[in-house]
Amino acid sequence: MSATNPRTLRFLSADDVRRALPMTEAVAAMKSAFRELSENRVVVPMRAHVPVPENKGDILIMPAYSPATARFGLKVITLFADNPALDLPFIQAMVMLYDAATGSPLAIMEGTALTAIRTGAGCGAATDLLARDDVRKAAIFGAGIQSRTQLEAVCAVRAIREASVFDQDSARAATFAREMAAQLGISVSVAATSGEALAGAGVVCTATTASTPVFADSEVAEGTHINAIGSYKPHMREIPPETVVRSYLVVDRTDAAWEEAGDLIMPLNDGLIGKNHVRAELGEIVAGTKPGRPDPAAVTFFKSVGNAIQDLAAASLVVTNAEKLGLGTEVRL
């Protein structure tokens, strides 16, 4: 590389990422990313999983390449169960973005905020495509950072007036309710039970670390749309098998879902569903090649285990907006 063409790298903090990745733009970016994925126009290897059992942790390594944008990205994300007790995030991540024409690095950014926003935006896209138009209440299971962006995304695509949050930590749920009500300008209450949270809710988002279902199937009304993003291992699930059986099931990526989604793998292994129970990938619905909600009474269920193309799409949008807004710090390599 000659001195007349120096390489520079943009470093972006969590605050930079949040400013450069507004939810409405992120939802649109996720729709495009899922369509690229379902149309096989991107290269996304299965993510590598490195367990750290002695510290109750997992490391996930997620690469993706988009020929259409001539960019590739890599995210390293860690999930350590004991971190909240240490006043550290359960999820931490870094994302690197590269120019695919030259292989030159473009940016390194804090990935925890990016992951939360892009995951919420993915479910926002699913909600926009699958939930009833008349939904006015959301039920949120979990009160962590992922739950916050889930609610923000749902409010970005539907005229939500109220939400209920259910979490085993009542103090954390109360903080969530107070802060999200102020942020979104809606009524947010703390539910004492799962049934109370689900009463009247047309959209349900689960973002927990649970290994067993967080509500009962009998509590889910006809016409409900469910987004489930918490479980990412074959032995973890948030959704009752009875709900899975009666749902119109949509996934982010079919092969990844059957590899990682305990919500689906356990009912499959128990003989309750077959692999043909997946009706569509979300990208197929975006493209119009598969239908969305079949009827107003159907229970629709979007199961997402997360995909690296979401990170690449989000990181590309972050860099584009950061350049416009003058965010981050440029370093000459």
124: domain CATH number is 3.40.50.720
- 31 within some domain: yes
Q: Are residues 143 and 278 in the same domain?
A: yes
- 95 within some domain: yes
Q: Are residues 245 and 205 in the same domain?
A: yes
Please report, as a single letter, which amino acid is at residue 251.
V
Q: Are residues 183 and 92 in the same domain?
A: no
- 1 within some domain: no
Q: Are residues 320 and 289 in the same domain?
A: no
Q: Are residues 103 and 221 in the same domain?
A: no
Give the integer Cα–Cα distance in Å for 234 and 227: 18
- 186 within some domain: yes
If 0-12 CB within 10 Å is exposed, 13-18 middle and 19+ buried, where does residue 325 land?
Answer: exposed
Q: Are residues 155 and 265 in the same domain?
A: yes
Q: Which is nearest to 321 in space by CA: 5, 1, 8, 23?
A: 23
- 185 within some domain: yes
Q: Are residues 182 and 206 in the same domain?
A: yes
Contact between residue 58 and residue 79 where contact means Cβ atoms under 8 Å apart: yes
- Beta-carbon-side half-sphere exposure of residue 263 (alpha carbons within 13 Å): 35
Give the integer Cα–Cα distance in Å for 203 and 161: 12
- Helix, strand, coil % over all residues of the chain, rounded to 5: 40, 25, 35
Give the integer Cα–Cα distance in Å for 309 and 66: 8
Q: Are residues 208 and 288 in the same domain?
A: yes
Give the integer Cα–Cα distance in Å for 53 and 304: 24
Give the integer Cα–Cα distance in Å for 241 and 217: 8
Task: Order the strands of the 105-110 sheet from edge to edge.
Answer: 48-52, 57-66, 71-80, 91-99, 105-110, 8-12, 329-332
Using CA atoms of 51, 255, 233, 303 in order, give the dihedral in degrees to the nearest 10.
140
Q: Are residues 198 and 280 in the same domain?
A: yes
- pLDDT tens, N- to C-terminus, the chain (333 residues): 444 567 899 999 999 999 999 999 999 999 999 999 999 999 999 889 999 999 999 999 999 999 999 999 999 999 999 998 999 988 899 999 999 999 999 999 999 999 999 999 999 999 999 999 999 999 999 999 999 999 999 999 999 999 999 999 999 999 999 999 999 999 999 999 999 999 999 999 999 989 999 999 999 999 999 999 998 889 999 999 999 999 999 999 999 999 999 999 999 999 999 999 999 999 999 999 999 999 999 999 999 999 999 999 999 999 999 999 999 999 998
Q: Are residues 170 and 278 in the same domain?
A: yes
- 100 within some domain: yes
Residue 59: CATH number of its domain: 3.30.1780.10
- 206 within some domain: yes
Query: Which structure tokens are listed for 127?
Result: 């909600």
Query: Which structure tokens are listed for 290?
Result: 């598969």
Q: Which is nearest to 283 in space by CA: 92, 155, 129?
A: 129
Q: Are residues 100 and 179 in the same domain?
A: no
Domain count, the chain: 2
* Domain housing 250: 120-306
pLDDT of residue 46: 85
pLDDT of residue 5: 63
Q: What is the DSSP letter of 169?
A: -
Q: Are residues 13 and 102 in the same domain?
A: yes
- 286 within some domain: yes
